[in-house]
Amino acid sequence: MIAILLAAGVAMIASLASTRLLISIFRKIGKGQPILGAEDRGPVQHMSKQGTPTMGGIAILLSAGLGWSFAHIRRGLPFSDQALIIWASVFVLALIGFLDDFLKVQRQHNRGIFWKKKGYITFAICLVLAWWLQAATGVSETLSFTRSDLPGITFTWPLFVIWTALMVWGTSNAVNITDGLDGLAAGSAAFGFVAFTIIGYWVFRNPNLYQNVINPLDLAVLSASLAGACGGFLWWNAAPAKIFMGDVGALGLGAALGLLAVTTNTQLLLPIICGINVFEAGSVALQMGVFKASGRKKRLLRNSPIHHHFEQIGWPETTVIIRFWIISAICVATALAIFIADFTDLQNLARSRR
C-alpha cells in the first residue's frame, strides 16, 4: 500500500509542476490548439479557446512514469515485464498522438496529417504491441470478466493478439473522443485508474484466488501513478482550461486503460469501468450511422460527440463535465461492486471446498 501511495503522490506533485512549466513554454512559443469552425461543423461555442496550449499529456505520462519508478525504491517491488511493456505501449501510442498534435499546431488546423489514416496506423501498432505482450510475458489468454474462469474462453494466440489490439485501439480512440471539454477526459480517466488500482491491490492481497494475474502489485502501482498524474493535471485542465491534454495524452491514457484490463483479467469489465468513454464513442458511431443511412440528410444529435450535443441544447460546459464525471463515477463504482461481489462468491466457494 505504501508503494501505491508513493506512486500516486509523487506523480501528482510532478504533474502539478510539470504541467505549469509546459503552459509557460507553450505560451512563449505562441501557438496553441486550433478549433474546428462552423464550416467543419465544429463546436463553435469553443472558438474562444483557440490558442490554448495543448499537448499537456506529455506532463501526465512523464509524471506518472516518474511516480511509478520512484515507488520501486522500496524493497519487495520488482519491475515487472508486463508493466514495462504497458509503459512502452503507452509511450509509442503517445508518440503518434504527439506527432498529430504537433502538426495541428504547426498548420493551425484541427486535423493533422494522420486525420484519415491515424486509425489504421494506430491499430497496426496495437497489433504489434499486443503480440509483444503475448510473446514476452505470461499474460493470461483467457477471456475474462472478473477472473480467468469467467466466462473462461481461452483464445489461440492469434485471436488473443487481435482481441487485445482491438481493446487497446478502441479504448485509446474512445478516450480521445471524450477529450472535448475541459477536464472531462482527465477526470474520467482518473476514475478508471483508481478502479484498476483497487483491483490490482485486491488481487495482490488474494493471490490464491487470482493465480493467473502476474505481478498485480506493480500493476496497481502503475495505475495509481496514472491516477495521481491525471489529478495533478486537472488542477490546470479544469474549466476554464489553461492547457489541453491533446492526442498525446488521450492515446497514451487509453492504451494504459486497455492494457490494464488485459493484464488484470478484467477485459469484459472494461466497458463498465470506461462507461463514459463507451457512451461518447457510441454517440459518434450512431451519429455517423444515421447520417450515412439517411443519404447525408439527417443527424441523430445536434453535434457529436454527445457532450457537444448537450452544450447545444443549453447545458453550460461545467454542467456537462460534472454530470459526465458523476456518470463515470457511477460506472466505476458499479464495476468495483461486481468485482467485489464475485470475489465474495469465490471466497465462499473456496471455504466450502475445505
230 closest CA partner among 8, 46, 68: 8
pLDDT of residue 180: 86
In a domain, 354, yes or no: no
In the chain, the percentage of residues whose pLDDT exceeds 90 is 63
DSSP annotation string for 208-228: TT-TT--SHHHHHHHHHHHHH
Backbone angles phi, psi at 300, to 5 degrees: -70, -40
Backbone angles phi, psi at 37, to 5 degrees: -95, -170
**What domain range is 119 assigned to?**
2-271
On the question of pLDDT at 261 being above 90, the answer is yes
The CA distance from 82 to 79, in Å, is 9
Q: Is 154 helix (H, G, I), strand (E, B) or coil?
A: strand
Query: What grid cell was written down for 313?
Result: 441544447
On the question of pLDDT at 255 being above 60, the answer is yes
How long is the chain? 354
25 exposed, middle or buried (CB, 10 Å; 0-12, 13-18, 19+)? exposed
Q: Which amino acid is at 296?
A: R
Mean pLDDT of all residues in 217-232: 97
Counting the structural domains of the chain, the total is: 1
Mean pLDDT of all residues in 20-42: 73
pLDDT of residue 56: 94
Mean pLDDT of all residues in 15-22: 96
In a domain, 218, yes or no: yes
On the question of pLDDT at 32 being above 80, the answer is no
The CA distance from 240 to 325, in Å, is 16
CB atoms within 10 A of CB 186: 30
Q: Which of residues 352 and 284 earns the better pLDDT score?
A: 284
- Reported as a single tens digit per residue, the pLDDT across 227-237 is 999 999 999 99
Residue 114 pLDDT grade (very low, low, confident, very high; cuts 50, 70, 90): low
In a domain, 127, yes or no: yes
In a domain, 306, yes or no: no
In a domain, 10, yes or no: yes
On the question of pLDDT at 152 being above 60, the answer is yes
Residue 262 pLDDT grade (very low, low, confident, very high; cuts 50, 70, 90): very high
Residue 111 pLDDT grade (very low, low, confident, very high; cuts 50, 70, 90): low
In a domain, 315, yes or no: no
Q: Which of 32-41, 121-130, 207-216, 318-327 has the lowest mean pLDDT?
A: 32-41
Residue 115 pLDDT grade (very low, low, confident, very high; cuts 50, 70, 90): low
On the question of pLDDT at 296 being above 90, the answer is no
Q: Which of residues 334 and 295 earns the better pLDDT score?
A: 334
Distances from the Cα of 74 to the Cα of 4, 8, 165, 214, 273, angstroms: 11, 14, 33, 19, 30
Q: Which of 104-113, 274-283, 324-333 has the lowest mean pLDDT?
A: 104-113
Instruction: Tell me the average pLDDT of the chain.
Output: 89
Owner of C-alpha cell 491533446 = 246
136 closest CA partner among 221, 214, 222: 214
Helix segments in the chain, DSSP class H: 2-29, 57-71, 81-107, 118-136, 157-178, 184-205, 216-237, 246-263, 270-273, 275-293, 306-312, 317-352
Q: Which of 96-110, 234-248, 312-326 has the lowest mean pLDDT?
A: 96-110
Q: Which of residues 9 and 109 earns the better pLDDT score?
A: 9
In a domain, 260, yes or no: yes
The most distant pair of C-alpha atoms in the chain lies apart, rounded to whole Å, by 69
Mean pLDDT of all residues in 246-274: 95
Cα R_g (the chain), whole angstroms? 20
The CA distance from 227 to 196, in Å, is 10
Query: What grid cell was written down for 331?
Result: 460506472
Mean pLDDT of all residues in 234-247: 93
On the question of pLDDT at 110 being above 80, the answer is no
The CA distance from 172 to 254, in Å, is 4
